[in-house]
Amino acid sequence: METNSAATVSTASSIDRVAVRIPDFCPADPEMWFCMIERSFEASGVSVEKTKFGYILGALDPRYAAEVRDIIVDPPDSEPYQKLKSELIRRLSSSQEQKTRRLLELEEMGDRKPSQFLRHLRGLAGNAVSDAVLRTLWMGRLPTSMQVILATQKDVELNLVADLADAIADTLSPRTMIAEAAPSSNKSNQDRQDLEALINTKMAQLTVSLRQEILAMRQEFGNDERFSRRSGNRRSGSNMRSRSRSAARRRHDSAGLCWYHNRFGNKANKCIQPCTWSGPAVGNDQGSR
């Protein structure tokens, strides 16, 4: 009875192993390929590392097996499948990035805007290259005068740099763009084009600086406006007090009193004529009246 049970288990295991379906290898996305295989392993009950390792070797094309030849020839004693998986993904992904990079290096901006050219490169690259690599490739295809300005925007997000490049392109004349893309064989023409490119570059730099200053001013505009309102209120109050004092002086002057009697009354020590003070005279007050 026990022999029959063992045979049944052995037969079931054999059926499970046979039932594993391995899709065709996908060198463009090896990570996805391994995910599909692992789902199949789970459904078939395959969990032994060496068994998984054997399945992968049977599915690999010799061209891609050569990428991990060292692991196939001398597999590690511990977790051979995981080692094969991680190295195959890493090595093929690196190889794919190099191929994509070579492809992108052949692309020219043409009459596209810088932002349009970036979207074009990104569409060709997909997920094969990082943003850092894409930035380098994209900037390398831009006019030299534009690269000089954008080189200062290293910490700015790539899409924002592309928008800035569009603004710079608007300030550069089409003739300058063409001159930078196709050098002239005539030295005098080249010198003139270099000078024109320099002038346009300076203009573009000034434009960028002006835009940045305007943005900073807009950000602080609210604070400035509130300060102006407070200052205006203080000036208004001061003016009102000044007008009140002037009105008071005019009222006092209309009574005919000099400044001393108007200010100190019968305690005034002096008097300046004309003065209509009729109270008792004190000290020099009497003499001056």
Q: Which residue has the higher pLDDT, 82 or 29?
A: 82
Q: How much is the pLDDT for 19? A: 66
Q: pLDDT grade, residue 29 (50/70/90)?
A: confident
Least confident interval from 40-54, 209-223, 263-277: 209-223
Q: How much is the pLDDT for 48? A: 93
Return the HEC string of the chain: CHHHHHHHHHHHHHHHHHHCCCCCCCCCCHHHHHHHHHHHHHHHCCCCHHHHHHHHHHHCCHHHHHHHHHHHHCCCCCCHHHHHHHHHHHHHHHHHHHHHHHHHCCCCCCCCCHHHHHHHHHHHHCCCCCHHHHHHHHHHCCCHHHHHHHCCCCCCCHHHHHHHHHHHHHHCCHHHHHHHHCCCCCHHHHHHHHHHHHHHHHHHHHHHHHHHHHHHHHHHHHHHHHHHHHHHHHHHHHHHHHHHHHHHHHHHHHCCCCHHHHHHHHHCCCCCCCCCCCCCCCCHHHHHC
Q: How much is the pLDDT for 57? A: 92
The mean of the pLDDT values for the chain is: 74
Q: pLDDT grade, residue 255 (50/70/90)?
A: low
Question: What is the C-alpha separation between 287 and 289, in angstroms, rounded?
Answer: 5
Question: What is the C-alpha separation between 184 and 187, in angstroms, rounded?
Answer: 7
Q: pLDDT grade, residue 14 (50/70/90)?
A: very low
Q: How much is the pLDDT for 175? A: 52
- pLDDT tens per residue across span 91-114: 887 666 676 777 777 788 888 889
Residue 122 pLDDT exceeds 60: yes
Q: How much is the pLDDT for 152? A: 82
User: What integer is the mean pLDDT of 187-203?
Assistant: 62
Residue 54 pLDDT exceeds 80: yes
Q: How much is the pLDDT for 68? A: 93
- pLDDT tens per residue across span 80-89: 999 999 999 8
- pLDDT tens per residue across span 221-249: 766 665 556 655 555 555 555 555 554 45
Q: How much is the pLDDT for 6? A: 46
Q: Which residue has the higher pLDDT, 75 or 132?
A: 75
Give the pair of three-digit tokens for residue 180: 């930078």
Q: How much is the pLDDT for 182? A: 45
Instruction: Report whether 149 contacts 208 (CB < 8 A).
Output: yes
